Amino acid sequence: MASRNDVATGPGPDTAEHADARIEISGLTKRFLTPAGEVFTALQGVSFTVEPGRFCAVVGPTGCGKSTTLSMVSGLDRPSEGSVKVGGREVDGITEGVSFMFQTDALLPWKTVLGNVLMGPVFRGTPKQQAQASARDWLRRVGLAGFEDRYPHQLSGGMRKRVAMAAALINEPKILIMDEPFGALDVQTKAIMSTELLSLWEQIRPSVIFITHDLDEAVALADQVVVMTSGPGSVKAVFDIDLPRPRGSVQEIRFQPRFIELQHRIWDTLREEVERAYALTAGGTE
Ligand SMILES: Nc1ncnc2c1ncn2[C@@H]1O[C@H](COP(=O)(O)OP(=O)(O)OP(=O)(O)O)[C@@H](O)[C@H]1O
C-alpha cells in the first residue's frame, strides 16, 4: 500500500485507497441554548462534500456558523440534526487522522520548537529518536532548520505559524482542519505562508476544510469554495475553482484573468450575505 507521500498531485485523487478521507456533511443543524434559556439556531441544514485530497475553503459572514461546522467535523461537538461522515463513518467523537490549525497558535510555551513538533508522533507511540528525526525534517521543510531549540516566544508570528504547520503536517493527516490559520498575520507574511501551505499540502494531499474571511485567499488555495448564508448558516452556493495546480505563488495567481473572474462571481454571491449580517448586527432591518 502506498504511503500518503505517494499520493498523486492532481486534484481530488478519488480512489478507494483515499476514500477514508472523504468528508460528507449532510443536513447539519445546530441549536444552542442561550443563557436566557432560548433556543438559538446557528446552523440550518448545511450539506456539502469534500472529496478525498481536495482543498475546500468555506467563506461566509461573521457569525454564520463556520467554526461551529468545523467543531462537528472534528468531533468536538455533536449536531442537533444531520450528520458528518468521514470515510463513510459517522463522526461521534474525536476523529482519527485529523490535524488542526487555528488563528491562535496552539503551541506549548514551555516546549522548544522541536519539542512542540515532535509531540504528535510521540503521542502516537513513535520512538523518540524517530520522532525527533521526523520533527527535524519537518522543521527543515517549513524553513526553520536551525531554530529547533528556540521557544515560541522567541519567534515571529510567521515563524510560529511555520511551527504550527510542521506540528499539524508531521502527523500526515488524512484531514486538515484550518480555522483562519493566517488571519492574524500581516498581508505579506500571509501570502508567503499560504504559498508554503499549498506546496506542503501538495506533498501530502489531506482533504482540507479551510475557513477564511479573505475571499482572495479562498480562491487562490482551494479546489472548491463553499459560500454560507448569514445566520442561521446554510450553504448558499459551492463554486469549483478550476485554476491549474500546482498553483505556485499565491501573490501571482491573483493577477490571472480566471482568478479575477472567479473572485468576482463568488463575491457577487457573498456580498448580499455579508451586508445582511452587517445590517442585523448593526441593529438594522433586512
Ligand atoms: N456554545 C455556544 N452557545 C451559544 N451560541 C453559540 C455557541 N457557539 C457559537 N454560538 C453562536 O453560533 C453562531 C455561529 O458561531 P460561529 O463561531 O460558528 O460563527 P463563525 O461563522 O465561525 O463566525 P466568525 O466568522 O465571526 O468567526 C454565532 O451567533 C455564535 O454566537
73 touches ligand 1 (CB under 6 Å):
no
pLDDT score recorded for residue 283 = 59
278 in contact with ligand 1, CB cutoff 6 A = no
CA distances from 255 to 55, 77, 250, 251, 261 (A): 21, 40, 10, 8, 10
Q: Do β-strands 175-179 and 98-102 pair in parallel, antiparallel, or remain unpaired?
A: parallel
List of E strands, the chain? 23-33, 39-50, 55-59, 81-86, 89-90, 98-102, 175-179, 207-211, 224-228, 235-240
Range of the domain at 9: 4-97+173-281
Whether 61 lines ligand 1, by a CB cut-off of 6 Å, is no
- More confident: 227 or 143: 227
Rounded distance, CA 79 to CA 91, Å? 10
In this structure, the residue with its CA closest to atom 6 of ligand 1 is 32
Per-residue pLDDT tens digits for 46-80:
999 999 999 999 999 999 999 999 999 988 899 99
Probe residue for ligand 1, chosen from 34, 43, 67, 276 as the CB with the greatest number of ligand atoms within 8 Å = 67
Calculate the alpha carbon distances from 237 to 43, 88, 130, 140, 234 in Å: 15, 23, 45, 39, 9
Q: What percent of the chain has pLDDT over 90?
A: 72
Report if residue 142 sits inside a domain. no
246 occurs within a structural domain: yes
Please work out whether the CB of residue 30 comes within 6 Å of at least one atom of ligand 1: no
Residue 69 lies in a domain: yes
Residue 257 CB partners (closer than 8 Å, separation 6+): none
In this model, does residue 268 exceed pLDDT 60?
yes
Q: Indicate whether 255 belongs to any domain.
A: yes
DSSP state of 128: H
243-257 pLDDT, tens digit per residue, is 999 998 888 999 999
- C-alpha cell, 121: 508522533
What is the domain count for the chain? 1
Q: What is the CATH number of the domain that holds 262?
A: 3.40.50.300
Q: How confident is the model at residue 3 (pLDDT cuts 50, 70, 90)?
A: very low
What contacts 67, CB < 8 A, 6 or more positions away?
A: 179, 211
How much is the ipTM here?
A: 0.97
- Show the beta-strand stretches assigned E in 180-241: 207-211, 224-228, 235-240
In a domain? residue 238: yes
Ligand 1 neighbourhood includes 63 CB (under 6 angstroms): yes
Any bridge partners for residue 100, and if so which? 177
Q: How far apart are CA 272 and CA 267, in angstroms?
A: 9
Ligand 1 contact, 40 CB (< 6 A): yes
67 in any annotated domain:
yes
Predicted TM-score (pTM) of this structure: 0.90
- List the end-to-end C-alpha distance of the chain, in Å, as a whole number: 55
Pick 183 or 228 by higher pLDDT: 228
Flag whether 17 is in a domain: yes
244 in any annotated domain: yes
Q: Whose CA is nearest to atom 16 of ligand 1?
A: 65
